A = this chain, B = another copy of it.
Amino acid sequence: MSNTFGNIYKLTSYGESHGAAVGGVIDGCPAGIEIDMEFIQNELNRRRPGQSNIVTPRKEPDEVEFLSGIFEGKTTGVPIGFIIRNTNQHSSDYDNLRETYRPSHADFTYQTKYGVRDHRGGGRSSARETIARVVAGAIAKLALRSTGVQINAFTSQVGSIALPGRYTDYDLGKTEESIVRCPDPATSDKMEELIREIRKNGDTIGGIITCVAKNVPVGWGEPVFGKLHAALGGAMLSINAVKGFDYGSGFDGIPYKGSESNDVFINQDGKITTTTNRSGGIQGGISNGQDIYFRVVFKPVATILMEQETVDIHGNETVLKARGRHDACVLPRAVPIVEAMTAMTLLDYCLLAKTNH
């Protein structure tokens, strides 16, 4: 439910922003997967604060220690426990938040729901929790290697600056060359400029991350409640600050009629494929062999370095001004998180599909 993700390949995560550590347990990972530690650490580095001069300057190494489930470099089929120590908390930056509800944060809802909360750095509601997702996603990517599945996410919009073309127009291999993680250099430059300006003012900005999964075989996904896109959508919406999701033609397809929207099947050299892919690679909740692509909307980060009116836990009105080190735009760091959730979902459904026969 709340802190476990997946049906067969399952991540259970724990950890608060300013507690001792964040981490998790991966259960159901297939045995015999080679663990490429460098790859996993690199995925963490893509999410890490301080990786470029447009993200928060916090310096956290975010080094993962694996505690179980790996023997002589391979997974053994038993749970993989892992831990990432929190090392750079400035908890005193948050002393003023012990009794104050930050606007559009989870302080008020946690306090009311549980009657108690760890106020430091947002506690459990902090995006620091996503470290566990990146670790489990990295291992899922390793487990998917033998299937040929390729997952690429990238920043496709920041504020009003959007990539002008479709994902097929760009070389997604170039995404990592951009500190914004946008594969088009010209658009990337504009996005970077916008983020710098927003940041200078102590403000924040959101946008869209697009994700593409290629080479997914036909047959992953479960009918009815476990549709592949429902699982992907639920996964994306569980990431901090996400406000929307669509796949295939999505919101943009609304003006078009059925006759303009259907994907025609053809026989291409003995393989059944479609001439268009408005379905986004999923039909009836099951992958159809075409590219799976979807969009994820991120709101601007709620923490701004400006004065805001609010109330405290006693209901007294007060004025808040955030201190500390924050992101003006989370999208560059969220790209690996979107990929991680995608990898976990796809691996989970890959394993489920093995039980169909």
Contacts and interface: CB of A to CB of B under 8 A. Distances in A.
Interface of A: 1-5, 7-8, 10, 12-16, 19-25, 27-28, 30-32, 65-69, 71, 74-81, 83, 101, 103-106, 108-110, 112-118, 123-125, 129, 157, 159-160, 198, 203-208, 218-219, 221-227, 229-231, 233-235, 237-238, 243-251, 253-259, 261-267, 270, 272, 274, 278-280, 283-288, 297, 299-304, 306, 308-311, 315-317, 351-357
B28 A25 contact: no
Given A79-B14, A233-B233, A267 B357 contact: no
19 contacts: A2-B223, A13-B79, A13-B224, A19-B68, A24-B25, A32-B116, A67-B83, A71-B123, A76-B118, A83-B83, A109-B283, A125-B285, A205-B258, A227-B238, A234-B237, A243-B249, A262-B304, A267-B316, A272-B311
Given A32-B116, A113-B353, A259-B306, 6 more contacts: A1-B28, A12-B25, A12-B79, A78-B124, A79-B124, A230-B238
Contacts of A351: 355
Contacts of A278: 104, 299
Contacts of A246: 243-246, 297
A67 B28 CA distance: 23
Nearest to A7: B1
Nearest to A282: B109
A12 B284 CA distance: 18
A224 B129 contact: yes
A108 B265 contact: yes
A240 to B, nearest CB: 8
Contacts of A115: 31-32, 357
B16 A356 contact: no
Nearest to A13: B224
A81 B21 contact: yes
A317 B14 CA distance: 46
Nearest to A271: B315
A334 to B, nearest CB: 14
A43 B302 CA distance: 40
Contacts of A203: 257-259
B262 A104 contact: yes
